[in-house]
Homo-oligomer: A and B are copies of this chain.
Amino acid sequence: MDLKRILIVSGTHGNEINPVWAINQFKKQFKTIDKNIEYEFIIGNPLAYERGCRYIDNDLNRSFNSINKTFDNSIYEINRANTLVEKFGVNGSEPCEIAIDLHTTTANMGTSIVIYGRRRKDFCLAALLQHKFGLPIYLHEKDKKQTGFLVEAWPCGLVIEIGSVAQNYYDPKIINKFLVIISSLRDEINKLKNNQIKLPKGLVVHIHQGSIDYPRETNGNINALIHPKRINQDWKPIKMGDPLFMDVLGNTKVYTGQNTIWPVFIGEVAYKEKNIAMSYTKKEVINISNLICEEFFS
C-alpha cells in the first residue's frame, strides 16, 4: 500500500492551545511515520496562536469556502486557507488525504467528534473512533450561517473537540486526551485495513438542527444567561418546559419546542459573537452496515 498522509492541524483557533502542546509532545515521543501512515503536523493559524486570539480577521475554520474562488486578499485567514490547501490539499505540493483538526471548547462536552455533511469516508473514520473510544459524534449539516470548515477542503476529515477548558489555559488532562487519540489513530486505521476490527452496523450521531441565541435587549446586550440547571449539561436531552435561560430577576425562560433536543456547545465563549448560546441536535442511529471501509484505503 502506498503511504497515506494525514494532516493533523492544531491551533486553527489561536487561543485553543492544548492541542498545540499535545502535538509538540507527540512529536518528541513518537515517530511521524508508522505503519505506512505519515502524520503531517501544522499550526492552522500561527499568527493568531502567537497573539493568543481566536483569529486575526476572520474565523479560519469558516474560511475554507472561498478556496479557488475570487477572494479578498487582505483577509489573513482567507489567504491562510488557500495556502494550506495549495500545499496540503489532495492536489497540493505535499498532499494529504485526510485532515484531522484539533479543537477545544469552553463547553462541558467532554471529547467528541465533529463531522460535516454525510461523506462515506468521514463516517468510516468516525465509526472507527466511536468504536475505539465510545465518543459522541456531532454531525453538522445544512446550516447556511456556518460554512467553510477546514476539514471540508479534504476528501476525508473530522474535528476532535475536547472540553471544557478555558481559552489560553493549559490543562494537562485535556492535553493527555489529545495525545491518547493521536497516538492510537494509526494503529486503529491499520487494524481496520487488516480486517482486525469489525465496526458496528449502526453509528449513533447527534445531527445538528439549529442554534439558540441568548435572550437579548433591543441594543443587543444579553439579558438572560444559561439557566443554572442547564449549564454544563451538554448532550443531555431537553424536553418541552425544561429551563433554558434565567434573567437578572431570576425569571426562567423554558424550552417551548415539541421535539426533544440534545444540546451542544452550551455557553461556548467563542460563539457569543455568532449569536449562539447553544446548538441543538436530534439523536439518530445511522445504518452503516453497507459502508465499505476498504474504500477508505483506496
- Chain A residues with a Cβ under 8 A of chain B: 21, 24-25, 28-29, 52, 106, 164-173, 175, 225-228, 231, 246, 248-250, 267, 269, 272
Contact = CB atoms under 8 A, between A and B. Distances in A.
Contacts of A52: 272
Nearest to A270: B168
A29 B247 CA distance: 12
A21 B248 contact: yes
Nearest to A175: B225
Contacts of A267: 169-170
The 10 A-B residue pairs with the shortest CB-CB distance in the complex, in nearest-first order? A166-B166, A172-B228, A25-B248, A168-B269, A170-B225, A28-B248, A24-B248, A169-B269, A106-B166, A106-B169
A29 to B, nearest CB: 7
A250 to B, nearest CB: 8
Contacts of A164: 166
Nearest to A232: B171
Contacts of A246: 172
A80 to B, nearest CB: 21
Given A166-B106, A166-B167, A249-B28, A172 B21 contact: no
User: A interface, by DSSP: helix, strand, loop or mixed?
Assistant: loop
Nearest to A21: B225
A227 B170 CA distance: 10
Contacts of A225: 21, 170, 172, 175
26 contacts: A21-B248, A24-B248, A28-B248, A29-B248, A29-B250, A52-B272, A106-B166, A106-B169, A165-B166, A166-B167, A166-B169, A166-B269, A167-B168, A167-B269, A168-B269, A168-B272, A169-B267, A169-B269, A170-B226, A170-B231, A172-B225, A172-B226, A172-B227, A172-B228, A172-B231, A172-B246
A29 B231 contact: no
A231 B165 CA distance: 13
Contacts of A170: 225-226, 231, 267
A167 B15 CA distance: 12
Given A170-B267, A172-B228, 8 more contacts: A106-B166, A166-B269, A167-B269, A168-B269, A168-B272, A170-B225, A171-B231, A172-B226
Nearest to A228: B172
A247 B64 CA distance: 34
